[in-house]
Structure formats: C-alpha cells, structure tokens
Amino acid sequence: MSSAPKPSPSRIAPWKWWVVVMMLLATVVNYVDRQTLGSVATFIKADFGLNEQGYGILEAWFGYSYAVFLIVAGFLADKWDLRWLYPAALLVWSIAGFATGFVETIFQLQVCRAILGASEAFNWPVAVGIIRRIIPRESQAFANGLFNSGMTVGAVLTPILVLTLVGPKGEGWRRLFMIVGAAGSIWIVMWLLGTRGERAVEMSHAAQTETLAAAHVPFRAVFLMRAFWITLAVGVTVNMSWHFYRVWLPRHLVVDLKFTDQQLQYLLIGFYLAADVGSIAIGFLAKRLARGGRSVERARKITLLFAAALCLAATPLLLGLDRGVMVALYCVVGAGIMGVFAMFYTFVQDIAPQHTSKCLGLIGASVWFLNSRLHPLVGQFADTHSPAIGKFAPMILVAGVLPLLAALFALTWREQPEAKPAVA
C-alpha cells in the first residue's frame, strides 16, 4: 500500500527532548542496578556456592518477576499518571538494589532480585508510552534509540564502578550494591521538579487528545491485528538476542576466551559503548531516511535490515579467530542489536495508540518467561558440555542470528497513510 504525501516535520519543543533525556537517565539507573549482579558474578557465585546452573536460576528469579510485572506495568501505564508512576517504580527498584548489599542467604538474594525485576519492569512500558504521546511519529525511532541507549550507558558505567569499588578478590561488592541503589533518589527529585505545571498538564492532554482522535479499539481486538503478531515476533527475537548477550557474553569472555575478571570489566565497557552508539546512530538513521522522501515504514525496514546485518558479525566465531578480533566483532553485534531495539519500539507504538504500553508489556513478558526458562538450561549445558568452540559460544552464535529473523518479520509490515504530526 502506498502512503499518502508526507507532511512537513513538526518542531519539537525542547522540554520534550529533556523528558526523553530524563528517561535515558532512568534507564541508566535501571541497567546499573540490573547489571551489577553480572559484573560481580564470580564473587557472588563463590560467596553463595553457586555453579553455572545455580547462577542461571538466580537470573530466572529476576526474569520471571520481570515478566509478570511487565504485564501489570503495561496496563497501568496506559491508564495512570505516568509522571508519578515512573518515580514510584524507580524508588522501589532502588530500594531493592540497596537491600542486596545486606543479604546473607541465597534466598534473600533471590527475593531482592525478584523485587528488582518487578519494579524495573515499569521502565520501558512507561517510557515508550510517553514517547508515543509527545514525540511526532517520524522522530519516534530516534527518541526510542536515545532513551534506550541508557541501557548501554548503564552497562558501561557498571564495570567502571566495579573497577573502582570492588577489590580483586571481591571485597566491596556489597558496598557497590548500596551505592548504586541509593543513586535513584537523585533522579526522582529531578523528574518531579522538571515535569511540574504546564509540562505535566500537556503530557496528560497529549494522551487524552490522542485517544480521542484515534478510532476506539477494544484491547481484545489487538490480538486480531496482523501488526501485533509481527511486532511480537520482532520483539521476541531481538529481546532474546540482547539478553543472551547481557547474561552470557561475560561468561563466554571469561570461560571460553580466557580473559580475567579484571580484563572483563574493560571489555564490557567497550561492548556497551559500541551498543550505545548503535542505539542512537541507527535510530537517527531511520529519522533521516523518513525525512528524505521515504515513508516512515520503508525507512524503518531499511534501517532494521542494516542493523540486523551487523548482528551477523559474530559468525566468524566458528573460524576460531583471534580473541581480540572476536571482541571487536561482538561490539559490532551489540550496536546492531540496539539498533533493532529502536525499530521494535516504533512498531509497538504503531499498533494501537490506546494500548501501546499494554502491548509492550505483553510482548516483553512473553520473551522474559521464555528467557527465564532458558537461562538455567544454558547454565546446565555449560556445566555438562565442552564444545570445541567453547561452552557458551553456541548461545552467542544463535543470539547473533536472531535479529535477522526480526528483520524478516518486519518486512511484512504494511505501510499506512501518514498521520499529521503532533503539535509540539
């Protein structure tokens, strides 16, 4: 279907970009709280007597809780005042992170991870819902890439904190959790001060205007939409790819490629910096293509294919290349995966305006239930098998191919007439 003539891009008020940057910072806090466990996994495994399967089970506590509350967050984010819902969730996950520094048993650690997962689940449904409300459609991919780059900024910051606060034998890992957990309070104050008055009113007004302007779609009708199932397929594949890298790339670098835990922190900084560049640059590419005469859908498809192609850079692992070369290629993969994420959020935002956060919550929950089941199995495989290419290498290879499936699913998305851009 051909699209209608494109309207000229609208000017976006500066405060709206400030909101996007604040959501980037919230995502930084979110990911530092989340990634701290993986960065000190060697020490935590030693303190609590965990093998790889036991570590996978610990990740599963976070994952199952995260999955359940993604659904809850999605429904609440489409109905509640997002100005207050966001800081409330951030306060809870900060407390859970802080409390991790005091745990004495594996059960207490698991409970803290479960509470962290439940509260952190609100970040993406709320942020994507806010962007859907206040940012014009042709700029949403860039806004998504910008806020979502907080994932990688947080992941870069985490190993820096580990190198600064944790000793070579693991001393100080509890203090690390306490400091990271306390950092969220600063963001909460900044958010509440910066979204007062007319800004809060306009964010709410934008949501009401959008809902009134769009044709009413009962939520059950979403499951009959082709767009929902395409977006579900894209979301499952890209999320599986990213979280396989997030959880198991550190173990692959240490166990298979024989880097030390100290070296690992520097390698993770490089990987997540590359991913951060990919998130912003690929989102910006989609914006430029959309403003260069192409329809928004066509621009997104081209960008998504490019990002997915970058993710295939991990396949030379089969050739047994030098480990330094492979680390560089993994950085390319990280950039590609984050670029696919930016496109995925735009698809969610286009399903049905009234149900953006609910759709994201359901899609996210699906993949987190799946991943939470898979992580213990991956750990069990690593405990019992030693393939020639490495214990964790098969998962890294599979994760690099999954974004290509996401791109192929996205190619079936039908173009639609361009809506008039939102008033800035």
- Give the phi and the psi of residue 319 in degrees, each rounded to 5: -90, -5
Domain membership flag for residue 415: no
Q: How confident is the model over 187-228, as pLDDT tens digits?
A: 999 998 888 877 776 666 555 555 544 557 788 898 999 889
Report yes or no on 8 lying in a domain: no
Is residue 2's pLDDT more than 50? no
Residue 318 lies in a domain: yes
72's CB contacts (< 8 A; 6+ apart) are 121, 361
Residue 3 pLDDT > 50: no
CATH number at residue 257: 1.20.1250.20
pLDDT per position as a tens digit, 328-382: 999 999 999 989 988 888 888 888 878 888 898 899 888 888 877 887 788 888 8
User: Do the Cβ atoms of 21 and 73 come closer than 8 Å?
Assistant: no
Residue 3 maps to a domain: no
Q: In angstroms, how far is the first alpha carbon of the chain from the final one?
A: 29
pLDDT tens-digit series, residues 71-112? 999 889 888 888 889 999 999 999 998 998 898 888 999 999
The answer to whether residue 312 is domain-embedded is yes
Domain-located, residue 419? no
CA distance 33 to 51: 22
Domain that holds residue 327: 14-410
Q: Which of 150, 139, 201 is nearest to 22 (CA)?
A: 150
Distance CA 82, CA 191 (A): 11
In 46-55, which positions are buried (b, 16+ CB within 10 angstroms) versus exposed (e)?
Answer: ebbebebbbb
pLDDT for residue 263 is more than 80? yes
- Please give the tally of structural domains in the chain: 1
Percent of the chain exceeding pLDDT 90 equals 20
Q: What is the residue-wise DSSP string for 130-182?
A: HHHHHS-GGGHHHHHHHHHTHHHHHHHHHHHHHHHHS-TTSTTHHHHHHHHHH
Contact 135, 202 (CB under 8 A): no
Instruction: With respect to residue 120, please indicate whether it lies within any of the assigned structural domains.
Output: yes
